[in-house]
Structure 1
Amino acid sequence: MKVRVGIDVGGTFTDAVAIDNNTYELVGKVKVPTTHYAKEGVAAGIIQALEKLLKECKIDVSDVIFLAHGTTQATNAFLEGDVAKVGIFATGTGLEGNKAKVDSNIEDIELAKGRFLTTSHRYIDNTDFNNENIINVIRELQNDGAEVLVASEPYSVDDPRREKIIMELAQGLNILATATHEVSKLYGLKKRTRTGVLNASILPKMIQTINMTESSVKKAGIKAKLMIMRCDGGVMSVDEVRSRPILTMLSGPAAGVAGALMYEKVSNGIFLEVGGTSTDISVIKNGKVMINYAEIGGHKTYVNSLDVRTVGIAGGSMIKVEDGKVVEVGPRSAHIANLPYAVYSDSNDLKNSKIVYVKTNNDTNTYVALENGEGNRFAITLACVANYLGYVKEDHYAYGNQESAKIALEILARALEKDPHKLAIEILDKAAEKNLQVIEQMLKDYQIDKDGLVMVGGGGGSAAVVPYLAEKLGVNLTISKNSEVISPIGVALAMVQEVVERSISSPTEDDILRIRKEAEEAVIRAGAEPSTVEVQVEVDAQRNVVRAIGTGATELRTKELGRSLSTKEIEEKVAELYNPKPEKIEEVEKTNELHVIQTMKSEKRLFGLMNKTKSTIHVVDKEGVIKLRKNEAAVKTLHVKNVSNKLMPILEEVVGYGDGGMMVPDIYLLHGKRIIDCSGVIDLSQVMALVKVETQGLNPDDKIVVIIGKRSA
């Protein structure tokens, strides 16, 4: 049996899982303490977890075909201010150079209260750009305390030669260096340089860790190439980490979403990964997790990351009481207070306990705990309350000793002179306030309504938080399968690869394009998110072989583990979105992988005096996941061989005109499993150019379904 191994390095524990490469089912899981203080750093814990996993699951090292790990190290480095001083080496010329001199001078960045990333800046004009001057500037930055350099030039994304020379000469002087063109291909020198500075600041520590980890993996006899989780849900090679470690930031939450959607068929939903101290919240829309630019120290970067928002509420959150009233839940947790949870303790140890008030760090004595006759203390947590009220079921990871939960709540209720059940609800309401505020804002930001919305819980503490939240919000709920190891599962499934080989003598451009397309479609079928797919083409002239290697990040949704749904079942899935149900639901078109379902639903307007029938088009995959939903959209059917001639006349009929000129509608093309999204372009000629590229190399007789809807705001 060939397996994929995923490892997630958390703040407290390092979790590892083995996944069957054919069925994608969990083979085994282990947990070891994270080795922050070992000589080898967290690498020691990674190897400990790996060795324990292989031994307990009786897996031979030769059967490990994929190995990846996610890490909180980059995130923690920024949170704790554990970063290197960065020297900024800027260059430019003329008036543009004067602006570059200002834009590249990034001031010290406050990463956390009282913790700064410090910088030193130098600039030279391109007329003085020679090796001697470059080396002198590098030495000046070194003398100013810079441990690592960033090379910055205004248009390096188009011509990176000068940035590369600075890097090479810096490395010749044994100083680590990066450049702005390595971290982003976008214009905007200030933001690109800031991103480069943040990236550079964690280079020394991350390179040290990755070298130790890679060496340890090789010593363990693992032949599979070590990969590292990225913040966008994909993975990267260790070589890429050595140049762009910033991409590993927030990789833990990204892995959690990837793992949860492996098992859950979610079209529109909220995913909450709940630990002991905090909850990471992300949004799923049309089967995809929303992405935004990452923010560090209040500054936007050019790093694409899942839009994850963290709230200081989780299973271990303690209860804050002032003047006999519950005033807050969290952000302090049992983990921070170094206290055991009452709900996971022996009920005999809690009997005859009294309420005491404890503090953690600089807090006042306002968090409640139990203290027994022997002086042992136990935290009363959100997990205790949720267990007491029955929201945590026996099959949930957060399920604890029900008698202990009852004792803890009753002792607290007596101390506050309240009814235990009412007190428990009051505590859950206080906790829910923080999460609901973030959730409501995210739904607003991404224009998601509550029709068909599902709340998905992941992480060991999910059942302590998510069921009550879903009840308060009035949406459906699911706790993901294997929720306690959802992050390493996501890591294990983060990338797929497919190879297509064809024997062709003297291949033409059309041959290469066709095989490239075949590899792209193969890797998408295997579960890769289309926007992440990259294809490398190799031509072996001696053997007359053309080889295309497609790689991509695993699509952040479920794998094809079960059967395809029938058309009737697909229509029922769509109907579940609405309450009351639409008057009409029917399939109006389809590809071999996608169903186009139209609903017609009456809506009352003008205080019920008028009825209007609302038409909505839903694009649904064969497993029932709704990939696209557009109101009042038109559906047209073409074929690849005539799309170039027939699409433009169709589009010209539906464009509108306003004060700003032509208004192009949102346009989507469906082919097989793919949705070709043209909604981001605002010119018909751009649409046609994009369509030409996307349909190049396809079978001329293949069907193309066109969805045309009003442009989104």
Structure 2
Amino acid sequence: MKPIRVGIDVGGTFTDAVAIDSDELEILEQVKVPTTHEADEGVAAGIVKAASETLESIDATAEDVVFLAHGTTQATNALLEGDVSKVGVIGMGKGIKGRRGRTETNIENIQLDDNQVIECEHAFVDLADGLQPEEIEQILDQFADDDVESIVASQVFGVDDPTGEEEVCEIASDAGFAAIGANAVSKRYGLKVRTRTAVVNASILPRMIETSLSTEESIGGLGIDAPLMIMRSDGGVMEISEMRSRPIQTILSGPAAGVAGALMYENVTDGIFIEVGGTSSDISIIEKGEPKWKPAEIGNHTTFLETLDIRTEGIAGGSMIRLEDGEVVDVGPRSAHIADLEYAVFADPADIVDPTLVRVRPMDSDPEYVAIETADGSRYALTPSGAANLLGFVTDDMYAAGNPQAARRAFEPLARELDVDVETAARRVLDASVQKLIPVIEELVEEYKLNPNLLELVGGGGGSAALLPYLADVSDYDTRLADNHEIISTIGVGLAMVRDVVERNVMDPTEEDLKRIRREAMDSVVTMGANQKTVETKVEFDKSKNLLRAEAEGSTELQTRDLSQETVSEEDRLIEAATSLDVDEGDVEKEYETSGLDIYETSETTERLFGLLSKTSTRVSIVNKAGVTKLKLDDAAIYETNGESLLYTVDRVLDSESTYSNSATKLPNVYICHGSQILDVSGVSDREQVTSLVEIELSDVPADEKLVIVAEKP
């Protein structure tokens, strides 16, 4: 049997699993089992059942599994439902600078949704005479009397010297507490925010540790040797042992899995990914092959946790319809699932007899939504899925495919109420539905200054066919559904890379600073299970925040991020480049290439002032040998070089492509194509730092190796 990657997505109702051929990326099997909330082992029982059924169905053994990961909503649910432990914070400091630690580590109770709260107790230790274990033990005894379960150790400048935090955590662990140092959660300065982030993390530690141990033990019973990985909120995975210290990293694990699928399976380079379920849609951005991030807010407080920027809207395939004065005034946020109604579109047409329109309140405090009641008293929900099937936007191969005849019969009472024909009634429902998505898409395009010429909308999730094809019909967006769209999140879990991010506040980073943070990020992902030969890093510096950031990711197997993809013909690669740039094939030329990448270009002229002024720009598409677009740029210059002349050419690029105004200099975004990889140094704004990063990352490139530098105009 070939090596297999297994991805498992634990949802509120079902647990989905997929088996993926690790060599060919072929989906071998998918399995759906009920999520086992009530089992003695909790959701672990469902994870084991899904994994074992998946392997059995393809006649595979535990030895065939080279990667096993699951996504989880437990951290998110714990914070939403208030299933958190009381946290004791031990602040530490010494001298005049340490005094502020007394107030900045004294975190007030953190209010969560629905009047839930993370309760906090606080004590401060003056380190003028060093750390005294007896004093810590006395504090812990008091915390135990106050029902504290988790400990946060937070020291002034603990990111520079974490020794004190580590000693306190060791004493606390020996005393039976779950414990974490603030430095382990974030390496950034900002004692109050760092401590608050650690408090949120600590509040879910006991529950997550308990669940992870149960899951690991259950999976171990299957005989799988591959380490159990957990989906992170940034689209990567980490070993379950690492999750026991940083469970906060799994918040938004579910939506992040869909984005991982869009990146790894669908190879989205520049797009907006919309994952549509039964109740809500998650909307996220991918630009230049990278998702966008934002600091997570918990209880209206900023944290140092970076999550994918995902906007959630209460519209999906199962959303219900609201009417007022003979008009469709809203679709959602309540869904058929909340109202405990079946979708009319999935009913037998013979059961939809003499339907009448009725009003229902899914929850007692809700406004009225419409449904239908048939002759035998059965009730069904009218949904966007029904409208899309009725109008023919859902084909038989789509997950949302139902019975158009049943949908037509069900929508007839709605059409009578609206005084229109059935098709018009269905369109009004879908118009109201997509109008909840379009403003969010437009907002993201504006906020991130996305280039519409390079943008595509990609739909995933079981309900995506209910909305995306209609959105394509009524808008100018280039829109498509992902392959295997209904399980794109589960695929994302199965294909995710081991990932970590290290951030430090540095005033003016030196070459040694760049090397150190890069090495720290690489060491972290290797420790979490990544094969060192597969690890890729990206270092960037935000001068406005003095924030140095290193991202590292790698595979547990000897593979690159592209995993394994067959080479396609040069003609197919040309077609892909033309498609990605939205031009005819005859307008695209390949002038440059490396051993693993083809660089295509096309010219575009724009006119201003009624044609008196014009500008010609070079648009670039970089396509790998498997025919996947890795990068698209709208205004760039291309330079060819080799390993021996690389640094000289980089200097020439920076001289030629930078823009100068008064005393300010804006550097171009620089991308260096080498072999089948692209070194991205676009996040660095200092010339010396660009040169240092290139020298660090490409120091082992042979002198005669051909490289291509693409510089995006600032």
TM superposition score normalised by structure 2: 0.88
Change (3 A) 1:615 1:52: closer
- The residue that corresponds to 2:74 in the other structure is 73
Aligned residues: 675
Deviation at 1:530, TM superposition (A): 4.8
- The residue that corresponds to 1:102 in the other structure is 103
* Equivalent residue in structure 1 for 2:699, among 696, 701, 705: 696
* Equivalent residue in structure 1 for 2:621, among 618, 621, 636: 618
C-alpha distance in 2, partners of 1:193/1:651?
Answer: 41
Deviation at 1:80, TM superposition (A): 1.8
- The residue that corresponds to 2:124 in the other structure is 123
Deviation at 1:5, TM superposition (A): 1.3
Gaps of 5+ in 2: 500-518, 539-550
Deviation at 1:348, TM superposition (A): 2.0
Instruction: Give yes or no for the alignment of 1:475 onto 2:474.
Output: no
C-alpha distance in 2, partners of 1:654/1:455?
Answer: 31
- The residue that corresponds to 2:516 in the other structure is none
1:331 alignment partner AA:
P
Change (3 A) 1:527 1:381: farther
C-alpha distance in 1, partners of 2:608/2:533?
Answer: 46
Change (3 A) 1:645 1:612: closer
Deviation at 1:580, TM superposition (A): 6.8
- The residue that corresponds to 1:50 in the other structure is 51
- The residue that corresponds to 1:561 in the other structure is 565
SS of 1:641's equivalent in the other structure is: coil
Q: Deviations over 1:240-280 (max 9, x none)?
A: 01101111121222222222444434321111111111111
- The residue that corresponds to 1:544 in the other structure is none
1:275 alignment partner AA:
G
Verify the 8 A CA contact 1:183 1:195 in the aligned structure 2: yes
Instruction: Give yes or no for the alignment of 1:489 onto 2:491.
Output: yes
Verify the 8 A CA contact 1:260 1:483 in the aligned structure 2: no
C-alpha distance in 1, partners of 2:653/2:270?
Answer: 31
Deviation at 1:655, TM superposition (A): 4.5
- The residue that corresponds to 1:362 in the other structure is 364
Instruction: Give yes or no for the alignment of 1:271 onto 2:278.
Output: no
What is the RMSD of the two structures over their aligned residues, measured on CA atoms?
A: 2.9
- The residue that corresponds to 2:233 in the other structure is 231
Gaps of 5+ in 1: 498-512, 536-548
SS of 1:314's equivalent in the other structure is: coil
* Equivalent residue in structure 1 for 2:654, among 651, 654, 666: 651
C-alpha distance in 1, partners of 2:36/2:152?
Answer: 31
Deviation at 1:322, TM superposition (A): 2.6
C-alpha distance in 2, partners of 1:271/1:60?
Answer: 35
C-alpha distance in 2, partners of 1:650/1:114?
Answer: 56
Mean Cα deviation higher: 683-692 or 40-49: 683-692
Verify the 8 A CA contact 2:23 2:564 in the aligned structure 1: no
C-alpha distance in 2, partners of 1:600/1:295?
Answer: 43
* Equivalent residue in structure 1 for 2:710, among 697, 703, 707: 707
C-alpha distance in 1, partners of 2:442/2:558?
Answer: 32
* Equivalent residue in structure 2 for 1:398, among 390, 397, 400: 400
What are the within-5 Å matches in structure 2 for residues 233-252 of structure 1?
233-252=235-254
1:638 alignment partner AA:
T
C-alpha distance in 1, partners of 2:454/2:340?
Answer: 41
TM superposition score normalised by structure 1: 0.88
- The residue that corresponds to 1:633 in the other structure is 636
Mean Cα deviation higher: 302-311 or 172-181: 302-311
C-alpha distance in 1, partners of 2:618/2:647?
Answer: 28
C-alpha distance in 2, partners of 1:280/1:67?
Answer: 25
1:478 alignment partner AA:
R
Deviation at 1:659, TM superposition (A): 4.3
Q: Deviations over 1:671-704 (max 9, x none)?
A: 1122222222232222221121112222222123
Q: Deviations over 1:532-577 (max 9, x none)?
A: 5468xxxxxxxxxxxxx9779974xx755343341x5444434335
* Equivalent residue in structure 2 for 1:177, among 173, 176, 179: 179
- The residue that corresponds to 2:89 in the other structure is 88
SS of 2:342's equivalent in the other structure is: coil
Deviation at 1:527, TM superposition (A): 8.2
- The residue that corresponds to 1:291 in the other structure is 293
1:245 alignment partner AA:
P
C-alpha distance in 1, partners of 2:176/2:119?
Answer: 20
Change (3 A) 1:630 1:19: closer
Q: Deviations over 1:134-170 (max 9, x none)?
A: 1222233333332211111232222110110111111
1:81 alignment partner AA:
G
C-alpha distance in 2, partners of 1:691/1:89?
Answer: 42
2:123 alignment partner AA:
R
Deviation at 1:583, TM superposition (A): 9.2
- The residue that corresponds to 1:376 in the other structure is 378
C-alpha distance in 1, partners of 2:695/2:54?
Answer: 49
SS of 1:576's equivalent in the other structure is: helix
SS of 1:37's equivalent in the other structure is: coil
C-alpha distance in 2, partners of 1:350/1:374?
Answer: 9
Change (3 A) 1:111 1:30: same
C-alpha distance in 1, partners of 2:143/2:618?
Answer: 63
Change (3 A) 1:624 1:110: farther
Mean Cα deviation higher: 254-263 or 452-461: 254-263
- The residue that corresponds to 2:593 in the other structure is 590
Deviation at 1:210, TM superposition (A): 0.6
C-alpha distance in 2, partners of 1:327/1:448?
Answer: 31
- The residue that corresponds to 2:140 in the other structure is 138
Verify the 8 A CA contact 2:267 2:629 in the aligned structure 1: no
Change (3 A) 1:692 1:452: closer
C-alpha distance in 1, partners of 2:556/2:563?
Answer: 18
